[in-house]
Structure 1
Amino acid sequence: MQQSPNVLFRPARKGDVPAIVAMLADDHLGATREGDPHDERYLAAFERVDADPYDELIVAERDGEVVGTMQLSYLAGLSRLGAERCQIEAVRVVAAMRGQGLGRRMIQWAVDRARERGCAIVQLTSDKSRTDAHRFYDALGFKASHVGYKLALT
C-alpha cells in the first residue's frame, strides 16, 4: 500500500476494529449510534467486509497506531456504460490528527485507488449536519450533485 509522510495506508486488520469503532463514535452522530468497540457484531461485520472483494476497509497508520479510517465499496451498475463506481464511506481521523491534512491525503489515496480499479466515478454521502465535512469535500472538487435519502430499519 501507499505511504504518505509518516502515514501508511493499508487494509484494516481484525485487531484494528476497536480503534476504528472508537473513531466512528467520536462525533455528535457516532456517539449516539455506536457501542462497545469489542462487541462481536463489529467483528462479524469486519469479517464480512474483509471477505468481499468489492469492499475495502482502509486504515491510516502512523507509528504503529491507527489514526484514520475509511471504507471503499465498488458498485457495479448499468449506467455510464456499465461503469463501476467507488463509494467512500465512514471517513474518520482521530481527534489529535484533525486539521493536519490527513483527511485530504486519505481522500486522494481513495480517488487514486478508484482510478487503479477503473472506476468511472467516486461518490460519497455526508450527513446534512456535517457542514465542516461539506466544505472539506467541496475544496477537494466533489460536487453536491444529488439529494440522498435514507430509511432507518432499526
Structure 2
Amino acid sequence: MTTQHTIKIEELGGADTALAFDVMRELRPHLTDADEFAELVRTQRREGYRLVVSYDETGLLVSLAGFRHQTSLYAGSHLYIDDLSTLPSARGKGHAGALLRWVDEEARRLGCAGVHLDSGTQRHDAHRLYLASGFVIPAFHFAKSL
C-alpha cells in the first residue's frame, strides 16, 4: 500500500472488485449492477486488466484506475489506462493525479516505454489533468459501431 499525504493507494484483488462499483459508475453509468461489474472485471483480468484504487482519509474508496500491459507496433510495451474515475466529492483533491503517478511507476517497473489512454472529448477537466501530468495528444481515436 502506498500513502501520499492522506491518499492511500492499493491494487484491488478479485474478491474486492465490487468495492469499486460506485466509483466506476461515475465513468461508466451503463453499469447498473455490482455483481455484473465484478464479473466483467474478472473477464478482463484474464486479459491482463488490473484495478488500483485510492482511499480518502476516512478510508472511503474514492478513485480508481483500471489498466493493462500491452505491446503494439506503434507504441511498443506500454500500460494502457482503460478507466480513470473519481467520485465527485473527491475531485480536485489529488486522487486521480496520485493514481496516474502510481501507474507511471508501475510502467517503469515493468520496463514499459510509456502510458496511454483515450478520453471522451467532453471531459475537459480530465484533459487538463492529463496534460498537466505529462500526457500529449498524438492522435485522434476513431470508432465505428457495428
- Same fold per superposition (TM over 0.5): yes
Correspondence for 1:48 among 35, 43, 47:
43
Matched residue, 1:9 = 9
Q: CA deviation at 1:51?
A: 4.6
1:36-85 superposed Cα distances (whole Å, 9 cap, x missing partner): 223xx322222234455x321111123432111111211023446xx311
> Within 5 Å, which residues of 2 pair with 1:1-154?
1-13=1-13, 14-17=15-18, 19-26=19-26, 30-31=28-29, 33-38=30-35, 41-52=36-47, 54-62=48-56, 63-79=58-74, 83-152=76-145
* Alignment: residue pair count: 144
Of all paired residues, the percent bearing the same amino acid is: 21
Q: What's the secondary structure of 2:119's corresponding residue?
A: coil
Counterpart of 2:31, as a letter, is: E
Question: Structure 2-normalised TM-score?
Answer: 0.84
CA RMSD of aligned residues (A): 2.1
Mapped partners of 1:78, 1:37: distance in 2? 36
1:74–1:86 CA contact under 8 A, matched in 2: yes
1:69–1:91 CA contact under 8 A, matched in 2: yes
| Structure 2 stretches lacking a partner, 5+ long | none
Mapped partners of 1:56, 1:15: distance in 2? 12
| Structure 1 stretches lacking a partner, 5+ long | none
Question: Structure 1-normalised TM-score?
Answer: 0.81
